[in-house]
Structure 1
Amino acid sequence: MKNNFLLTVAIAIVFHTSPLLAQSINDTKDTLTPVQPQSAVAPNSGLTVTGYVEAYYTHDFTAPKTAQERPGFLYNHKRNREVNVNLAFIKGAYTSDRVRANLAIQVGTYAQYNYAAEQGLLKNIFEANAGVKLSKTHDLWLDAGIFSSHIGFESAISKDCWTLTRSLVAENSPYYLAGAKLTYNTPNGKWTLLGSVLNGWQRIAKLPGYSGPSVSTQVQFKPTANFVLNWSSFLGSDRPDSLKQTRFYNNIYAIVNPNGKVSAILGFDIGADRKPVGPDGRRVGNGSYVWYAPVAIVRYSFSDVVKLAGRVEYYDDKNGVIIATGTPNGFKIWGYSLNVDYFILPTALFRIEGKVYNSQDAIFETASRDSNTNTSLTTSLAVSF
């Protein structure tokens, strides 16, 4: 009750002190959608206020009628057979020549499930960071706090992604990070270089027993407006120090013709955790546990108003590092989805998506017995301001 009261007061203060609306949100790790200005900046202040609300309904045709949640490896659009809010937030952003800061307060089922391990009011923080430009002549910034992850081409903000729901690899890699980062953009705008020191693998508070820190990098190349090539990495751990399980993760993707009639995203992620140390101080085996996930998305734009996107993906985590199933083959699953987007207004988006999962083992609950397949239909209405 106390947390809800504080959250209500914070939102009320932002609305009361900012009689302005700003452009639609676009500073996520996925900036594939063109910015559509909607409002003004406060005079002489550099302060903007933006907001986003996405309501949804998901129908899982495979799960028992009494099942209220989608499978455990999903964190967005999680509730089954009920109308709910996936993500809603209000954000204040301040920018000047040498200083910037962001604060966004969130609610919704995305925050409920994806931030379950965080503490108290931190579960309602979508973004909170401050930055300073270190050079007068170069685009070099130091930022610290909680920010959207640079690992991957998708974010929790559905309107900025080509598909309504997130890919398996996005759902099971960091959506947010906490720490400090250096970002450099070259004068010609073709290269972005980033290095960061983090509290952990999608951790605001460090994992108990892990001393850290973790580090992460990003190298992004944009030779033209129609091509993006990205490599992001993570080196650290998501296990206590006693297990000595170093994690090395790589995220690679290419985006081709993102604003054209036909466009595509090709992605490949691969991670490795060292095999752990047992109670006797010896490792349980040589080498590492490896998991990987390729994904391909193709989008066709009939117009600025109607778009169609299809996705094919695969996730292989046979050792259950990220997704444990307790089955003989572990988590080995294909995913297929098709979605149609209709922009009612530049700031209002209606979407519908059908999706099928096909697993090597029977991991999906049904009314009678576990199944190898899962079928669902999701609709959403997202409004930004």
Structure 2
Amino acid sequence: MRILVNAQQLIENKLEGWGWFTYETLKRITKNNQCVEFIFIFDRKYPKEFVFNDNVLPIIQYPQSKHPFLWEFKFQYLIPKLIKKYNPDLFLSTDGFIPTTEIKTKTLSVIHDLNFEHFPEIHSYFVRNYYKKYFPLFASKATRIATVSEFSKEDIVNHYAINPEKIDVVYNGINENFLVINEQEKISIRQKYTKGQPYMIYVGSLNPRKNIINILKAYDLYRSNYSQKIKLVLSGSRKSWNSDMELVFKSMIYKEDIIFTDHVTTEQLTKLIGSALCLTYPSIFEGFGIPIIEAMNAGIPVITSNTASMPEVANNAAILTDPYSIDSIVNAMMIISTDENKRNELIIKGFDNAKKYSWDKTANLLWESVQKTLSD
């Protein structure tokens, strides 16, 4: 059997959500299925670590996928040519992109979420137009679809009128390095980032759908109403930081207690999360929400939202808030910071919930979806 794989999300030192899904699943699938030939299509030079096994043939198809015009050229013209050349049994795409022209090869498209349908403004003009034009086509043209939560499955069904029997839920996994760390290391991390003070942490890119403005407003109100000197660490890229966020930040009373780390390594992030009082993650929209289960696995209580996929992923092991209500977020912060029994209860429930998720399970589910695609 031969499987052609869209590997454009495997970018050295720049793995993000879709990239980590690609890395963790394909690393396992290629090693577990040695009799299958995998052809990885990269769009740039790749490190040897991305060629996971002897049954992986890496090829480079330029140009690099840096703009929607290039995405269109690549997936409507270049990829079909590669499919014709290599004649695979399956084309697997872990970022959803597939040819929409007529091809004989079966396709499995991993569509992680439809954030661009709900919040088109967070994307540039050309990106959101490409997504809104092509993702309905990707969904309808794919032989099968995999997605990362029941919420996202329902979202795809409702937006694109796709038969739910065509969609497989393949939950994300947990990076195994997110573990409980000892008290001495926690003290060291707090000393490094917050001058020894306890802190709440938000993890992820600082963009509007992550509810950064309400996190800032809630934190300022929380600090104004309660005496605890607890800082707030925002750990993620500020590439999408906008003027509205800046205006709110500058107006804060306790802005000096906000710590921006920007992007950090996975090793640094495991320590930052593991040393926090809690994860504060009242996002407006997520297709999954990996930080929720990573924090739980590290023994850290979680505040998240009662919307989108987050109640499904948190599974009664977090405090759920209304992300549009600042008071709701403040109340959750108050409970976490003052009620030790509640914190311990959430930690125990979080450990149990996190056990449901692993990249081994994700890889097995994705491989099951591959087999269903081949039999369709």
- Whether the TM-score (by the shorter chain) exceeds 0.5 is no
Higher relative strand content: 1
* TM-score where L is the length of structure 1: 0.27
* TM-score where L is the length of structure 2: 0.27
Highest RCO, 1 vs 2 (Cα 8 Å, sep ≥ 6): 2
